[in-house]
């Protein structure tokens, strides 16, 4: 199994987890984080409930600053990751959560 994985890496195939690993290594240099922060002042992450913990930590590390607006929108009752526990507690909130009760869609 390990031999097959190594072979695929040599051929250039990456897994979902590999992308987070290489991104984390790439972003060890602060200049790359600064480039992204300056390029994207406003970050809107929709369907947050389906973001992996690794993705959440990576994005929070980049955009969880005072100069960026990092908005996360999600509904824990609409998650597609049924086999994974909810990870909303992964992110230390800088602001209090806002909960919306009810819908005005059909008014």
Per-residue model confidence as pLDDT tens digits over 19-52: 888 899 989 999 999 999 999 999 998 888 788 8
pTM score, whole prediction: 0.64
Which one has a higher pLDDT value, 87 or 79?
Answer: 79
CATH code for residues 2-88? 3.40.50.300
Output the CA–CA distances (angstroms, integers) from residue 107 to 52, 94, 102, 103, in the order listed. 35, 33, 12, 9
User: Which residues have a Cβ under 8 Å from the Cβ of 40 and sit 6 or more positions away?
Assistant: 63, 68
């Amino acid at each position: 199994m390990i031999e097959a994985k190594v072979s695929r890496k040599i051929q250039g195939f990456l897994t979902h987890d590999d992308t987070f690993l290489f991104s984390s290594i790439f972003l060890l240099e602060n200049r790359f984080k600064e480039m992204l922060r300056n390029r994207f002042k406003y970050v809107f992450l929709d369907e947050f409930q389906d973001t992996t913990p690794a993705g959440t930590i990576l994005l929070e590390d980049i955009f969880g600053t005072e100069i960026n607006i990092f908005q996360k929108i999600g509904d824990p009752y609409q998650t597609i990751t049924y086999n994974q526990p909810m990870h909303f507690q992964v992110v230390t909130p800088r602001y209090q959560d806002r909960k919306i009760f009810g819908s005005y869609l059909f008014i």
